[in-house]
Amino acid sequence: MVYSRILGTGSYLPKRVVTNDELAQTVDTNDEWIVTRTGIRSRHISDAEETSSYMGYHASLRALEAAQLKAEDLDMIIVATTTPDKGLPNTACLLQDRLGVTYIPAFDITAACAGFVYALSVADQYIRTGMIKTILIVGVDVLSAVTNWADRSTCVLFGDGAGAAILQASDKPGILSTVLRADGRQKDSLYIPSLLPGQRKAEELPYIHMNGREVFKFAVRALEKIVEEILADNGLSQDAIDWLIPHQANLRIITAIAEKLNLSMDKVVTSVEKYANTSAASVPIAMDEAIRDGRIKRGQTLLLEAIGGGFMWGAALLVY
């Protein structure tokens, strides 16, 4: 049987760190208010140079190094992002150019915060069918570019960053299964208006708009259900999970899901306190950090899950 196996991971975070205290100098908030409601203490914010393709490139180099591969060994590039460098060409093509590889397919997936899990699932299908052997997947977002920094209900939540993983065909267990879901009826709960001239309502600012209460309620229910579903599909219980790597949106959401699954927080990887919500990058950044600091070890079972605007959500069960 052919599996998709993670050979290496990498991540990149912008140089500039913005603490809660720094935010409090420009918006009506404070560190206690933010930490109590979100668990977030700081976030990394990009400068003009640190675009999605730039951050994705540096995360990719680290993933390639970890996998002991070169860019020319890649057969496909998939980038999950909501904040592309340009309208076109897509960010994957810009990343391909930075890596110096040509002719291989390169495309973007727009699935908001669920983007990396969606990309992982798509890559897995290509590898399982034998069409592709080695794939680079990247989750990257520059949410600071679409954040209203005068709105304390949203500006405290987001940060920038990139995470990458190299998948390769293997006869050893890797990705066991993935589950993807979407519900377009929730389109008004979390969205960014059109950035195209003439297609945005005059009263709508080109920033993230979010109904926080609705997002929280839907996210907890949806993620609890999809985690139970993917475990049942594989005949496993929560005890089989060595590490849960959730989307890093809000520590309260992460804690609520862990409690509903009767999963100790000692088995949950979190990075939201340092990096805030980096959208499609949040899962791969957290995974890369836990791999590099030795928490995640080869042979352990990982459960990845994420949800984002749309709503779109998904889960992936894998052996690292």
Domain CATH code at residue 237: 3.40.47.10
Say if residue 131 is in the same domain as residue 199: no
Say if residue 70 is in the same domain as residue 198: no
- For residue 200, what pLDDT is reported? 66
Say if residue 153 is in the same domain as residue 191: no
- For residue 251, what pLDDT is reported? 95
Say if residue 92 is in the same domain as residue 185: no
- For residue 34, what pLDDT is reported? 95
Residue 90 annotated among the catalytic residues of the structure:
no
Say if residue 233 is in the same domain as residue 124: no
- For residue 58, what pLDDT is reported? 98
Say if residue 7 is in the same domain as residue 141: yes
Catalytic: which of 20, 93, 247, 250? 247
Q: Which residues of the chain have pLDDT under 70?
A: 200, 202-203
Domain boundary among 171, 190, 225: 171
CA atoms within 13 A of residue 113's CA, in its CB half-sphere = 30
- For residue 199, what pLDDT is reported? 73
Contact 230, 303 (CB under 8 A): yes
Catalytic: which of 20, 90, 250, 277? 277
Domain count, the chain: 2
Catalytic: which of 113, 155, 209, 250? 113
Tell me, rounded to whole angstroms, the distance of Cα 246 from its chain centroid.
9
Say if residue 20 is in the same domain as residue 141: yes
Other CB atoms within a 10 A radius of the CB of residue 259 amount to: 13
230: which residues sit within 8 A by CB, 6+ positions away? Answer: 177, 178, 179, 303, 315, 316, 317
Peptide bond into 197 cis (omega under 30): no
Say if residue 146 is in the same domain as residue 199: no
With tokens 């990257």, the residue in question is 140
* Residue 42 lies in domain: 3-171
User: For the whole model, what pTM was predicted?
Assistant: 0.96
- For residue 203, what pLDDT is reported? 66
Say if residue 134 is in the same domain as residue 246: no
Domain boundary among 107, 137, 171: 171
Residue 58 annotated among the catalytic residues of the structure:
no
Peptide bond into 218 cis (omega under 30): no
Domain boundary among 171, 200, 217: 171
Say if residue 301 is in the same domain as residue 264: yes
